[in-house]
Amino acid sequence: MKKYEIMYIIRPTVESESSKEIVNNFSEIFANYNSEVLELKELGLKDLAYEIQHHKNGYYVWLLVNATNEAIAEFKGAAKRLEILAENNETIIFRDFAHSPSKLRATVNAVKEQYSEKVLIAVMELHTFSSLNADFLNEYKGSMNMANIAIVYFNPEVIKHKKLKPITKEQVKKSFQNNNLLVFSNQQELLAYIKNIDLSNNNLLLMSSGNFSGVDLKKFANNLLKI
């Protein structure tokens, strides 16, 4: 194990209780990977050196940890979660790296609970070896039920490349056990559908360990909100 100093910044729009939960969750990562938080200082709201995603300040948290390589890798992955790709006064477009059933459910539920007054459109890409495995699909049962509009995308060419058994849209819908689930296997049809959604007072959550077959997600989000 090695000692690391870590500084991370929480968006200023996150409510106090949610900020405490984020701090606790990040600290728990180290405990879960046989590591230790030696010191933790919540430095509070401070100005940023430069504006990030239209924010001029953020809530700073400093950590001194004695950590394994696995803990640091997991922390870096968690820190990428719920990245804001674009936002305006009515809509936030998030990107998240959730792809396992448990993380998918947790992310969808967290966004819906935090913004309960808004319609949540959740889009998930089946991209990893396990998620595209026909025998594993049933693990996703109910994982997107909190979303008002739930969408799953997979690319049949990726399945071929990974030398897995083909899966069908009907198979995916049955596995998620969500009668309202929309399933796409064509990227252009998926993007066209999203573009036609009225995002006023809605939030869009894009979840994948990939990029929906080559989409520049930042550019796509900015175009959706005409930024």
| 115 & 133 share domain | yes
**Band of pLDDT at residue 18, cut at 50, 70 and 90:** low
| Nearest-angstrom CA–CA distance, 80 and 146 | 22
| 52 & 90 share domain | no
| 68 & 167 share domain | no
| 75 & 178 share domain | no
Asked whether residue 25 carries a pLDDT value surpassing 90, the answer given is no
Burial call 67-89: b when 16+ CB within 10 Å, e when fewer: beeebbebbeebeebbebbbbee
Distance of CA 66 to the CA centre of its chain: 27
Average pLDDT score over residue span 90-114? 87
Alpha helices of 37-124 — where are they, by DSSP H?
69-79, 101-114
Kindly report which listed range (99-103, 115-119, 139-143, 190-194) carries the lowest average pLDDT score.
99-103
CA atoms within 13 A on the CB side of 214: 6
Whether 120 and 148 have beta carbons less than 8 Å apart is answered as yes
What pLDDT, on the 0 to 100 scale, is given for residue 80? 64
Single-letter residue type at 151 = I
Residue 214 belongs to domain with CATH number: 3.90.190.20
Q: Which domain holds residue 6?
A: 2-79
What's the structural domain count of the chain? 2
Please tell me which residue, 110 or 18, carries the higher pLDDT value: 110
In 10 A of CB 178, how many CB atoms?
Answer: 19
With residues binned 3-state (H G I as helix, E B as strand, rest as coil), the percentages for the chain, rounded to 5, are 35, 30, 35
Strands 2-10 and 55-67: antiparallel
| 100 & 207 share domain | yes
Cβ-proximal residues to 154 (8 Å cutoff; 6+ apart), any chain: 125, 126, 127, 132, 167, 172, 183, 185
